[in-house]
Chains A and B, each alone.
Chain A
Amino acid sequence: MGQRIVVIGGGGGGLGAAGGAKAVDPGAEVIVFTEFEDVAYSPCGIPFVHGKEIPSFEALFLADKQSYIDAGIEIRYNTTVTSIDTAKKTVQVLDGEPVAYDSLVIATGFGYANPGVPGGDLDGLYYVKNIREAMEWDKRLDTVKKAVVVEAGPLGVEMITALAHRGIETHVIDPNPWALGEVADPDIVELVHESWTELGVQMHWNTTLEAFLGDDKGSVRGVMTSGGEIECDLVVVATHKVPNNALAAAAGLKTGSTGGVIIDGGMKTSAPSVWACGDVCEVPHGLGGLPLQGLTGSHAYAQGKVAGANAAGGSRTYNPVYVPWGMVAGKWMIGGVAFGEVTADALGMPHVIGIADGISRARYYPGVKKVRVKLIAEPGTLRLIGAQMVGGEGIKERADFLGVAVKTGLTLYDLATMENVYSPPIGALNEPIAVAAQKGIAASKAT
């Protein structure tokens, strides 16, 4: 038997690590511990089953259990790891013997920040994460008339839209002044708010949660907020993603200012023979290096591949991130990359801005949609440091492209003279990115 590589966590990061390890060392014994009954599904798809855009949860499963057996990866389901001994190189599982490892990958993921208010043990508080629980909640949603979503972060935004699509009277409470308030700019989310209003969503911004209110049966009947009481049958708790770092911290691994496990570009932690990946760790931003935690499933999977490969003896590297992002919010797509106006301003980064409103197709072509692009650049060089967008289509592709533009140091001058696809069904004569860049150049000359 070859070396034994143990992976804790069966999400995107953990399974990426298992696959990465097997790719480098096919003879390695790879064991994945997960406390759940399933792996290899897309939790990111759950809101869209709730919203009835996807017909069933079965569609979210990416592989069956046999495929991991065939790949030589041993997955121990419903198994909780309770501690790690980095000196003895063992992990302890609940009700079991210690399991020795040659290399360990920690991929314990995230949890939702505890709201820290009374009533947290009531029935009817839904933390969207596990697919089996989501199946049960989905049946319950058929009986829900009124729901409250706590915080409009990325998951909250998707759940607000999903519940509204489902015909449930949906309220959102959030301490920020607008949706995605810690990431997005107000002129970008304005259209999203308008579409939520059309869908009947009631928005309570600048509003903090003070308590979950229960009935005499122990079920939630509402929430108390800084703006008063809101009655409901269900609360979706979509607070910040925080790293599930208890195991790592108890084992003595160093954590950073985000609470995430500190790693290097090879996903190696501060402990010998231990790597980490996904939401449990923090990675530096490509511009300025500020550590970030709680990114996307695609980040977790890619990090897992690197961590697993290196745990098996490889030498792969993961790069600092620029975080292109995007999602459907109400009737719009919204997205961006790196810094927006609010985040650049919060850090005190000097910047110039170019904004343009354009269209997604030729103006005469059926289905044409509005597209707003906002570019943020460094003064002087006009090097792109971020972008935000909202529109009816084409946002994801622009976010991906602008992610590469930021990463490779393109400037507003480059973007202002970019060539663009022009074809009436898929692209307009003027690309909004180029127009926004031209406006940014003009704004920089005016200051």
Chain B
Amino acid sequence: MQSPSAWLRVNAQHYLLRDSQSRVARRRGYAPPNTAGSFFWTKVFIPIYRVMPWGLRRRIMVAIPGSHTKQWAKQGLPEGPAV
């Protein structure tokens, strides 16, 4: 039994990738894949996702439960001269 977040991830990833493959293939001169599929995902989700600003998309993605919401070390470059 898939959790709601897993269901969302699997479907969103599948349809966004297929849409992206199609657009990159056209841009680079390759045969695009067939992007037919569920009405909701192809005609509702993809167009709405594409018009959302990146900042909003990112906020939605990180709001989904997962390891990224836990404590992880912050990374940064050491300060000061190396020698």
Contact = CB atoms under 8 A, between A and B. Distances in A.
Contact of A349 (B9, B23, B28, B54): B54
B24 A260 contact: no
B30 A281 contact: no
B61 interface: yes
A78 to B, nearest CB: 30
A263 interface: yes
A420 to B, nearest CB: 20
Nearest to B72: A265
Given A317-B73, A320-B75, A343-B20, A291 B50 contact: no
What range describes how many residues of A lie at the interface?
35 or more
A262 B67 contact: yes
B21 A258 contact: no
Nearest to A317: B73
Contacts of B62: 288-290
B20 A290 contact: no
Contact of B77 (A176, A266, A291, A408): A408
A142 interface: no
A277 B68 CA distance: 15
Given A185-B24, A257-B6, A407-B75, A290 B70 contact: no
Between A205, A206, A262, A345, the greatest number of chain B beta carbons within 10 A of the residue's beta carbon is seen for A345
B34 interface: yes
B24 A186 contact: yes
B81 interface: no
A62 interface: no
Nearest to B50: A348
B38 interface: no
A186 B66 contact: no
Interface string A253-295: 0111111101111100000000000000111111011110000
Contact of B33 (A176, A266, A343): A176
A342 interface: yes
A319 B67 contact: no
Given A177-B30, A177-B32, A409 B67 contact: no
A342 B21 contact: yes
A317 B70 CA distance: 13
A288 B31 CA distance: 31
A421 interface: no
B3 to A, nearest CB: 7
Interface in B45-76: 49-50, 52, 54, 57-58, 61-62, 64-73, 75
Contacts of A332: none
Contact of A284 (B3, B33, B57, B72): B72
A177 B28 contact: no
A257 B3 CA distance: 8
A176 B72 CA distance: 34
Nearest to A255: B3
Contact of A319 (B8, B69, B73): B73
Contact of B67 (A177, A185, A187, A284): A284
Contact of A348 (B33, B54, B75): B54
B67 to A, nearest CB: 5
Contacts of B50: 348
21 contacts: A176-B21, A177-B30, A178-B30, A185-B28, A256-B5, A256-B64, A256-B67, A257-B8, A262-B69, A262-B70, A264-B71, A265-B71, A319-B75, A320-B72, A341-B24, A343-B17, A346-B13, A347-B57, A348-B16, A348-B50, A408-B77
